[in-house]
């Protein structure tokens, strides 16, 4: 490898973004890993990650449409707060204006379980679904999106 000028690409250290020890109720896992959706705006997944930028560590919240895997809402901030998740959902609602009954799946973090977030979901007729405790596979589409984003766009710098 040395002779060919190749270097190992090391992964960044894990940093926990899900705070699931909270007093809020948790929704059942309605999505149940049914990631194949035949029409747009039938099911969305949401998650938050952290990433290194020229500005330092930032948190990125996204909402993805399971039909197209397209980002329909996002927010970037310096702090991991509920407002970040609310801003991403608000953008998605404004851009897509989904019909009531859309399934919204996330992890069971405090940002998604909060009264403010759940109120916004109910206000627009969205059905809440949350991953099982400690099970990243239940939100694999969002996790895969973040993995691709980090390896292709930010970790090569």
Q: Taking the domains of the chain in order of start, what are their residue ranges? A: 43-154
pLDDT for the residue numbered 153:
72
pLDDT for the residue numbered 112:
95
The yes/no answer on whether domain 43-154 falls in CATH 1.10.8.80 is no
119: which 2 tokens?
């109120």
pLDDT for the residue numbered 118:
97
pLDDT for the residue numbered 120:
98
Do the strands 43-53 and 127-130 form a parallel or antiparallel pair, or are they unpaired? unpaired
pLDDT for the residue numbered 105:
94
- Compute the CA torsion angle 132, 133, 135, 139 (nearest 10 deg): 60
CA atoms within 13 A on the CB side of 139: 30
**Averaged in consecutive runs of 10 residues, what is the pLDDT profile of the chain (157 residues)?**
73 53 81 88 95 90 96 96 97 97 93 96 96 74 88 66
Phi and psi angles of residue 61, each rounded to the nearest 5 degrees, phi first: -105, 135
Start-to-end CA distance of the chain, whole Å, equals 21
Q: Are 108 and 20 in contact (CB under 8 A)?
A: yes
pLDDT for the residue numbered 18:
54
Strand, helix or coil for residue 46: strand
């Amino acid at each position: 490898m040395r002779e060919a000028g190749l270097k190992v690409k090391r992964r960044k250290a894990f940093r926990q973004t899900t705070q699931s020890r909270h007093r809020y109720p948790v929704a059942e896992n309605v999505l149940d890993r049914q990631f194949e959706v035949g029409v747009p705006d039938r099911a969305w997944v949401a998650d938050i990650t952290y990433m290194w930028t020229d500005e330092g560590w930032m948190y990125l919240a996204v909402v993805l449409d399971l039909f197209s895997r397209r980002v329909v809402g996002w927010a970037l901030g310096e702090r991991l707060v509920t407002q970040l998740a609310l801003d991403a959902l608000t953008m998605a609602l404004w851009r897509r204006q989904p019909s009531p009954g859309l399934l919204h799946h996330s992890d069971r973090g405090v940002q998604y379980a909060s009264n403010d977030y759940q109120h916004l979901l109910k206000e627009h007729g969205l059905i809440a679904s949350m991953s099982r405790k400690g099970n990243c596979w239940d939100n694999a589409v969002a996790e895969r999106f973040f993995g691709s984003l980090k390896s292709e766009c930010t970790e090569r710098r």
